Chains A and B, each alone.
Chain A
Amino acid sequence: MLILAPLRIAASYLWREVLPLPSRAAVLVFVLAILGLPYLVNDPYFLRIAIMTSIFSVFAASWDFLSSYSGQVSFGHALFFGVGAYSSAMLNHHLGWNPWLTLPLGGGVAMISGVMVGYLCQRLRGSYLSLATLSFPLILTGLLFLFPEASGGELGVSGLTPLVRSRVGFYYVVVLAMLVLNFGLWKLGDSKIGLILHAIREDEVAARASGINTVRYKVMAFAVSALVAGLSGGLLAHFIRSVGPSTLEVALSFQAVIWGIFGGVATIYGPILGVFLLYPFTELLSLFGSISEYRLLMFALVVLLVLIFMPEGITPWIRDKLETECRRCKSPNVFTRHECRICQADLR
């Protein structure tokens, strides 16, 4: 009986808290589907797309944590991705260290870079901060080209050791990392720290007046976000087994912004959905020979069209359609219910 007790708690949690809400049920279905994917489709190309999508979803979620929770909209998020990828790759290639060691070290270096950027930017706000962050990856690119022996210059570093030899094995490593990191970010955003970051974004003076050390929290948001983005960069480097200046490009920074806002900001799950919709979409388009030339164009047009109809992003739009918030206790309910499932207040 003792062994069954946690199971029973889990089942009752599932029954009472997860299944009654479509959004939580959707997350459950998503987790099960992504864990079972290799059993359904065992096509290496398909798995490759799934791995890349998972890696970029971590990147987009980390952008969301920094930009929409703390209000420091980053236009240079590729910096942390690139720092994580490059430092992990260079430690592995030049020193021959095990990728299981270099990956977290790369994340750590990215975190240090995040603290540095956050510290430099603490006095900037709004658009100044966005435009200033845009420059950091470009400065680093210039420095990398200055030392071609270490960084490989234009070609980058290649011939890295993969984390796991088999593709399915790598898939599970990436997917587990993705679930842990994304869920961790979401939990952190939902915690007291997330609340404080929301307060800082809405009114920094008031937050400081309430006794919050705003600088510390803003730099911490940079550090956490950079750590996660750096880990995703390291994962990518060890997956495609090479790293080049494209990990620091403006295009990648903008890509994070597009994924995040398209999915819906300040939610963590929004950018993840954004990546899971947009990345496979553009990749699958390239399968068809004649359309592949148009794929970036179609990507941009789809983003524009969706935005005109759902300017807040795709997840808030769906969530508002499926769920109504109880006016008395603020807990979410399915749109079909007429009274709140927690406090029985009238929902109509």
Chain B
Amino acid sequence: MFQDILITGLINGGIYALLAVGFSLIFGVARIVNIAHTGFYMLSAYAIYTLLNKAGLSFFYAIPIAVTGVTLFSLVAFKLVIEPIREHESAVLIATIALALVFQEGVLLIFGGHFLGNPTLLEGKMEVLGVTVTYQQSLALAVVSLVLLGTWVLLTRTRLGLAIRATANDVEVANLMGINVNRVTMATMAISVMLAAIAGAVVAPLYVMEPLMWLRPLVIILSIVVLGGLGSIKGSVIGAFIIGYVETLTVFLVPSGSFLKGAVSLGIMVIVLLFRPEGLFGVVFEEER
């Protein structure tokens, strides 16, 4: 039981962290509340399913193809749908909701509403310090930690990362300093969706897929980024693991906990907000006028 909680919480937290970091990035740079964010995660999982079962590719080809494909697709969608209405904030908001609905209905029409599963990538399990872990789970953990580390390096050690952080801090000043804000926004969109697509690839062999699979993680990552502080990467990661463990603990320890796991984690977010309205690691912004 203890091992189960440890491992499941770690995996859930990791996947939430990937999703929440991407969501945070695009919110910070472009101030877009991207409701379609987990839609890309779903698309990636379904793309992998198609490439595995219809095209007969192996996982090692399917995952990179799916991740790049979804990322390119997101850039096209951004150019066509979001960019023309960028200056109207509310329009952008429902454009992303509508995009998510389009994804959901598209998946429903092509694949049907029933549950689909992928074969596992690696069979077998191993024992680490007396805790049994399947190879599949350890691979997921390895991928998640590598990608998170990579994102951190990208953001703090490269010129692009500097540009992204500068734009997130103040768009106008970043523009005046010679940063091409439009290009940075596109790059951030690509990175953000790529993180979501990788999360989808990690999830594809672990969980079952259905056309509504985007909705639950969406609600959870929204609460995570609010809990951690909007736009704060560190806050997103820590918030993701807090919520991941809270959910797992509720499922394992509370009777009929699977009904309550959403309610408990959202309740924790509300309680944190009551004491720290800007989230755990959020900065208190001067009111934007």
Contacts and interface: CB of A to CB of B under 8 A. Distances in A.
A311 B91 contact: yes
A143 to B, nearest CB: 6
Given A203-B289, A304-B102, A131 B223 contact: yes
A312 B88 contact: yes
Contact of B226 (A125, A132, A258): A132
Contacts of B94: 257-258, 261-262, 303, 307
A203 B259 CA distance: 41
A13 interface: no
A201 B219 CA distance: 26
Interface string A112-123: 000000001001
A132 B273 contact: yes
Interface string B277-288: 111000000010
Chain B interface category by residue count: 35 or more
Contacts of B222: 131, 134-135
B268 to A, nearest CB: 10
B119 interface: no
A146 B256 contact: yes
Contact of A261 (B87, B93, B264, B277): B93
A332 to B, nearest CB: 23
B264 A142 contact: yes
A250 B212 CA distance: 12
Contacts of B218: 250
Contacts, number: 131
B85 interface: yes
Contacts of A143: 263
A300 interface: yes
A141 B99 CA distance: 26
B274 interface: yes
Interface residues of A, number: 46
B88 A311 contact: yes
B101 interface: yes
A138 interface: yes
Contacts of A125: 287
A296 interface: yes
Given A124-B273, A134-B222, A296-B105, A307 B263 contact: no
B263 A131 contact: no
B81 interface: yes
Interface in B65-85: 81, 84-85
A128 B277 contact: yes
B121 interface: no
A100 interface: no
Nearest to B35: A254
B31 to A, nearest CB: 8
A132 B278 CA distance: 11
Given A304-B95, A304-B99, A307-B91, A127 B85 contact: no
Nearest to B104: A296
Contacts of B35: 254
Contact of A257 (B93, B109, B263): B93
Contacts of B226: 128, 131-132
Contacts of A73: 90
B276 to A, nearest CB: 9
25 contacts: A124-B273, A125-B287, A127-B27, A128-B273, A131-B230, A134-B219, A134-B222, A134-B223, A135-B219, A136-B270, A139-B263, A139-B267, A142-B260, A142-B263, A250-B218, A257-B94, A257-B97, A297-B105, A297-B106, A304-B99, A304-B102, A307-B95, A308-B84, A311-B85, A311-B88
Interface of B: 27, 33, 35, 81, 84-85, 87-88, 90-91, 93-95, 97-99, 101-102, 104-106, 109, 215, 218-219, 222-223, 225-226, 230, 256, 259-260, 262-264, 266-267, 269-270, 273-274, 277-279, 287, 289
Given A131-B225, A145-B256, A146-B260, 13 more contacts: A123-B273, A123-B274, A131-B222, A135-B266, A138-B219, A138-B262, A139-B270, A146-B259, A205-B287, A257-B94, A294-B109, A304-B95, A312-B88
